[in-house]
Structure 1
């Protein structure tokens, strides 16, 4: 291995322009590792790769171990090279239109390894355009030239951003095979969107989201790898949240009325008040994040809404068209609410299939004890497709991982499209990967339905795209 030192990014924040910044990146690339950077469009994949090529302005943190010779292929580098060629015309004072730099000069002038360059020209079958001006090439042709330049530069590190983009199947396989011959001598970092294009030699995967390196996964960890695939599926799939079943539709509410209105509510015990004189209005399709430390009353506040707290009848509460205490039943209220919590997951210990767990949401039951319709089965299968679990539809729920169970219970809560979905600490007990999966599903629901979401957690800074309203509770105070 040419490069023996690891590349170390420590608490690194890099500014690219006024619109984008990579934040607090902690990442170590060992000499024997070969990485893929993946994530959704706009997440910061290319920016992170560009840092390894020296791009961006360091705001804070440290970058060490970067080798002197880095072979780079990216759309940005390709565009810069083409733009530099075009500027040659602007500099021509004799009004003679320049033909531009020919490809053979691009490849062989100052080439560190001409033999490799000639070999790759033959492999890419580019002999026919060596005398053509670089700027007259197609996008695919110029990309192949960029690849040859990078691979023949005696690189100590290769940074390849979507290197297979636009290649036909045979050329893609050829390039993957060629890169595989370099794995003992050159560490590689590839930016790729498609899992089916990950070369076999990749050892590690970095997942980037919203300018942060959120997950690092070993390729030989089958469970973590499958969960990352599922996360990318949830983040990138064009599948919409499935519709409700018209046969079991919830009664329509007045869209001009709030779903919930709490007027000066309190929960008090002999020695302390969880909260006092709290006003809160939740309007249709309005998403909220409810946060606060342990014991601040988050779950108690929710139980005022659901009718499960004994003090709900001594407070001024309006829910789903009902004034609390006006003779409404608890089931009249709960039909409008989908609820997911750790407590529900502990109770839902049945061995029924994944499909049946989702269908049970139509009946608000733990397990399925009613005959379901073809339409309900179809909707459940659409939810499984959205979650990337279609191939597991008949597997038993109690054999799933803790995180996958949480995803299924959120789908179960959403299957009727309730006006209000309450997610009480949905990430509690989950590792980073499963937490990202749950948050991705919540984002999908916020963006694609008319259900108002209350997302409950401990940390007000842990925000979800699509949630723009925040209520933070404080620690309880002693009563006088």
Structure 2
């Protein structure tokens, strides 16, 4: 590949089933990329675009190479489907034995010497006369790899190349790929970050972009990262860990179990709630019910009363006693203490992060959530330490357990404070502008963690932000306040 490939605001559709939207991406001949991201985000589709697949709806794509070596499950399935068609007795006068492996590999082969060498390396010598369609999945994949590698490609596209290969073949493939990095640029699609070869220079991260017309799915290229940027690379690893890990939200500590709530009662009910200062009305006759397991987004411009409404729920606003408010089984003003209410609430805000300035370890920050303290002033139990370790694992921060909290990035501090708020599994988790002050990567990390919590189904999330359109997967209810 002598020239660079350039995608400028490219929107590409695939049979009305999937659309890549507004893709900006430049690839030069000295770069080797991994495309990664969440399931269904369009990783394979983006790789296929470089092989000329898809219909360009808008934008531009230039510099696509003439000869592309492509290995993917889709291409593998197409080859097998073509072979199976040869079995159709209505069309064929004789029963087809199918295309033999040697024909699949050597027909129109650009580098027979390399192909022969790889056949021997991959242990296919005894299978050359066998019908291609009679091979196992792993053997079929080996044939695909040999075809692509011996095609003298200008660009090599390998979509999950390591799947289905035995240990010995995997090692041989990795060795061969490392030997050709100076002659052909490579694009790999990988779900597992730990499979990334050392020679990869750049990473492209894909994410889902909602649904398009006719219900088709959409994907977007969200980030491109130079592997030399260690900080950005580590953050992307953490994001992928949160997005794709099978780990669940850790359980609460039985020794710190909260009182049971009546499942038939709402967590919060505001009836005609009004907040005013003199003649200025901030919140006017608000009716709002939050049921258990019903995640909400509270949005609105500055001055619309979002923080005031939150403080009515938490009991921090003096006018909470002059309004008709029901929280966690308590009717406000009937003798309950503020701590009886707050034990059921996890709260994260920028203000809390400003206050949390003690020099304690990441692990102790999480453990402090059991005591609702800023810092650690009590001896923690073995089970609390174990739960904190599980949260660190979920966050992809196990190796930072003993690092000082105040030495972490702003985004990592926010993640830990959300974990701190969640350790007791409060019935209600209030996240007040959790993405305020975060760059795009850290914002995505925080949103991924919130999605994970919503999946857990034991805590109701109240997510506060400025923009109603800034949706989080799992949060289906929205209350938008207007500024009077």
- Deviation string for 1:324-373 (max 9, x for gaps)? 22222211111110000111011101111122111111111000101222
Matches within 5 A, 1:75-94: 75-90=73-88, 93=91
1:337 to 332, 337, 345: 345
Question: C-alpha separation between the residues in 1 aligned to 2:33 and 2:283?
Answer: 49
Match of 1:306 in 2: 314
Matches within 5 A, 1:264-413: 264-270=272-278, 272-413=280-421
Question: C-alpha separation between the residues in 2 aligned to 1:103 and 1:297?
Answer: 70
Q: Give the 3 Å change call, closer, same or farther, for CA 229–420 of structure 1 in structure 2.
A: same
Match of 1:52 in 2: 50
Instruction: Tell me how far 1:299 sits from its aligned partner.
Output: 1.8
Question: C-alpha separation between the residues in 2 aligned to 1:315 and 1:60?
Answer: 54
- Work out whether residues 3 and 186 of structure 1, in 8 Å CA contact, stay in contact via their aligned partners in 2: no
Instruction: Tell me how far 1:315 sits from its aligned partner.
Output: 2.5
Match of 2:134 in 1: 136
- Deviation string for 1:12-71 (max 9, x for gaps)? 333334543323322222222111011233232112212222223333332222222221
Match of 1:115 in 2: 113
- Deviation string for 1:366-412 (max 9, x for gaps)? 00101222222222122122222222222221111111111111111
Question: C-alpha separation between the residues in 2 aligned to 1:272 and 1:25?
Answer: 48
1:21 to 19, 22, 29: 19
Q: Does 1:201 align with 2:199?
A: yes
Q: Which moved more, 1:18-27 or 1:442-451?
A: 18-27
SS in structure 1 of the partner of residue 187 of structure 2 = strand
Q: Give the 3 Å change call, closer, same or farther, for CA 321–19 of structure 1 in structure 2.
A: farther
- Deviation string for 1:179-208 (max 9, x for gaps)? 223323322110012223211110111111
Instruction: Tell me how far 1:79 sits from its aligned partner.
Output: 0.3
- Work out whether residues 8 and 22 of structure 2, in 8 Å CA contact, stay in contact via their aligned partners in 1: yes
Q: Give the 3 Å change call, closer, same or farther, for CA 25–458 of structure 1 in structure 2.
A: farther
- Work out whether residues 106 and 115 of structure 2, in 8 Å CA contact, stay in contact via their aligned partners in 1: yes
1:74 to 67, 72, 75: 72
Q: Does 1:240 align with 2:248?
A: yes
- Work out whether residues 350 and 366 of structure 1, in 8 Å CA contact, stay in contact via their aligned partners in 2: yes
Q: Does 1:436 align with 2:444?
A: yes
Aligned residue-pair number: 474
Question: C-alpha separation between the residues in 2 aligned to 1:156 and 1:268?
Answer: 69
Q: Which moved more, 1:60-69 or 1:402-411?
A: 60-69
Question: C-alpha separation between the residues in 2 aligned to 1:331 and 1:10?
Answer: 55
2:233 to 218, 222, 225: 225
Instruction: Tell me how far 1:115 sits from its aligned partner.
Output: 2.7
Match of 1:3 in 2: 2
Match of 2:31 in 1: 33
Instruction: Tell me how far 1:313 sits from its aligned partner.
Output: 2.6
Question: C-alpha separation between the residues in 1 aligned to 2:202 and 2:281?
Answer: 50
Question: C-alpha separation between the residues in 2 aligned to 1:166 and 1:94?
Answer: 33
1:214 to 213, 218, 222: 222
Question: C-alpha separation between the residues in 2 aligned to 1:260 and 1:19?
Answer: 41
- Work out whether residues 86 and 92 of structure 2, in 8 Å CA contact, stay in contact via their aligned partners in 1: no
Match of 1:64 in 2: 62
Question: C-alpha separation between the residues in 1 aligned to 2:233 and 2:289?
Answer: 42
Question: C-alpha separation between the residues in 1 aligned to 2:421 and 2:166?
Answer: 44
SS in structure 2 of the partner of residue 89 of structure 1 = coil
Question: C-alpha separation between the residues in 1 aligned to 2:44 and 2:192?
Answer: 14
**In angstroms, what is the RMSD of aligned CA positions?**
1.9
SS in structure 1 of the partner of residue 370 of structure 2 = coil
Question: C-alpha separation between the residues in 1 aligned to 2:293 and 2:109?
Answer: 60
Q: Give the 3 Å change call, closer, same or farther, for CA 152–330 of structure 1 in structure 2.
A: same
TM (norm. structure 2) is 0.93
Match of 1:98 in 2: 96
Q: Give the 3 Å change call, closer, same or farther, for CA 309–160 of structure 1 in structure 2.
A: same
